[in-house]
Amino acid sequence: MRQGLIYENAFEYVYTLLFDIFVCSLKSTFYLLETIFLTLLPDKLRRKKDVSGQIVLITGGGGGVGRHIALNFARLNAKIIIWDVNREAINATCDALKTEGFECASYIVDISDREKVYEAAKRVKEEIGKVDILVNNAGIVTCRPLFEIPDKAIEATYGVNILSHYWTVKAFLPDMIANKRGHIVTVSSVTGLMGTYACTDYSATKFATVGFHESLYSELKYHGHDYIGMTLVCPYYINTQLFSGVKPRLFPMLEPKYVADKLVESTLKNEVNCTLPNSVRMLLPLKCLLPAKTCWELMVRIMKGPQSMSLYKGRGKAKSG
């Protein structure tokens, strides 16, 4: 691949541009047909990666979604590592795994603290081994209008929801590249695709995780690291303490097990994007196609987004699982 955009003359510029358009068109047609084929192909016939014996690290593994993610990977004979700040939640996940006959390693880690992440990562490598699958699942939310959010709460939300992704990926991705095997799962949200009332902190950080995923994906692809899988998961509101009290009008809250099942399924299929549920995914393009005022009318009159968020009764801080 040409490094940079330096051309000897105008002819070379036009020739390479036309050639690249031709190749892009061919590949795009192939990828479109491939997507249609895989969509129609029964799930049982889809090729899925084998994660048996691989080390899976889950941040926010003490919460509902994180716990189900851990159970699902454990049932596939993967080795499970749980990171969380809540010892009781960690113990609950470990107990759930032990009930089914699985073992897990657990660490209390404040993932918003860069040095603590690096220290914990070093311990993991020394005590367990190099991580094969990293699931950045942890998250917190305040869920208040902007002027009601304490400054420290905003900083905390950014620390956990997005900055931690930099620290965990920088800690574990080099080993994945060296081993020519690995997968990074980024748990974002539909609020990271569409701004949400009373979520200026949460929604902004989830937008950031989408950008982080897409940018890192482009870096890995450009430098030839195709063996590193990347999956972005954007679920609708999940029925956990994170959004306790929220009552959506059109779409029901998603259950943690459903989200975890789809996340693991997408990881095994090496899917790059997973938006849940599919009905919401189909509506998202309207945001770019319709006038902003029309989108607002749909949000406030049809979906009742602000009204449903005003019913929030959560803790103010909760695991995204």
Residue 43 located in a structural domain:
no
Tell whether 103 is covered by a domain. yes
Residue 129 burial (CB count, 10 A): 15
pLDDT of residue 288: 86
Task: Quickly state the pLDDT bin for 287 (edges 50, 70, 90).
Answer: confident
pLDDT higher than 70, residue 302:
yes
CATH number for position 133:
3.40.50.720
Give the pLDDT band (50/70/90) at residue 97: very high
Higher pLDDT, 273 or 316: 273
Tokens of 282: 């189909």
Residue-wise DSSP of 217-284: HHHHHHTT-TTEEEEEEEE--BSSGGGTT---SSSPPBPHHHHHHHHHHHHHTT-SEEEESHHHHHHT
- Of the pLDDT bands very low, low, confident and very high (cuts 50, 70, 90), residue 311 is low
Q: What pTM value is reported for the model? A: 0.92
Which of 16-20, 81-85, 229-233 has the lowest average pLDDT? 16-20
Q: Is 307 exposed, middle or buried (0-12, 13-18, 19+ CB in 10 A)?
A: middle
d(CA 191, CA 233): 12
Overall domain count for the chain: 1
Which active-site residues does the annotation give?
A: 202
What secondary structure letter does DSSP report for 300?
A: I
**Position 4 confidence tier, pLDDT thresholds 50, 70, 90:** low
Q: Is the pLDDT of residue 81 over 60?
A: yes
Amino acid 268: pLDDT: 98
Per-residue confidence band for 3, with pLDDT thresholds at 50, 70 and 90:
low
How far is it, in rounded angstroms, from Cα 148 to Cα 142? 9
**Residue the block writes with tokens 């938006």:** 275
Query: Residue 143's pLDDT is what?
Result: 85
> What mean pLDDT is reported for the chain?
91
Q: Where are the alpha helices (DSSP H) in the chain?
A: 10-40, 64-75, 87-99, 114-127, 151-158, 164-179, 200-222, 256-268, 278-283, 286-289, 292-297, 305-309
Q: Give domain status of residue 10, yes or no.
A: no
Whether 89 has a pLDDT exceeding 90, the answer reads yes
Domain annotation covers residue 20: no
Report yes or no on 25 lying in a domain: no
Q: What range does the domain containing 201 cover?
A: 50-309
Share above pLDDT 70 across residues of the chain, in percent, rounded to a whole number: 94
| pLDDT tens-digit map of 141-182 | 988 899 999 999 999 999 999 999 999 999 999 999 999 999
Q: SS3 of 122, please?
A: helix
Q: Label residue 318 by pLDDT band (50, 70, 90).
A: very low
pLDDT of 321:
45
Q: Please report, for residues 135, 142, 200, 241, the alpha-carbon distance to residue 319 in angstroms, rounded to integers and kept in the order given.
A: 14, 12, 18, 8
Residue 54 included in any domain: yes
pLDDT of 140: 94
Distance, CA of 73 to CA of 67 (rounded, Å): 10
The percent of residues above 90 in pLDDT, for the chain, comes to 69
Cβ(188)–Cβ(206) below 8 Å: yes
- Residue 116 is given by DSSP the state H
Quick check: is 317 in a domain? no
What is the rounded distance in angstroms from the CA atom of residue 242 to the CA atom of residue 316?
8
The answer to the question of residue 62 being in a domain is yes
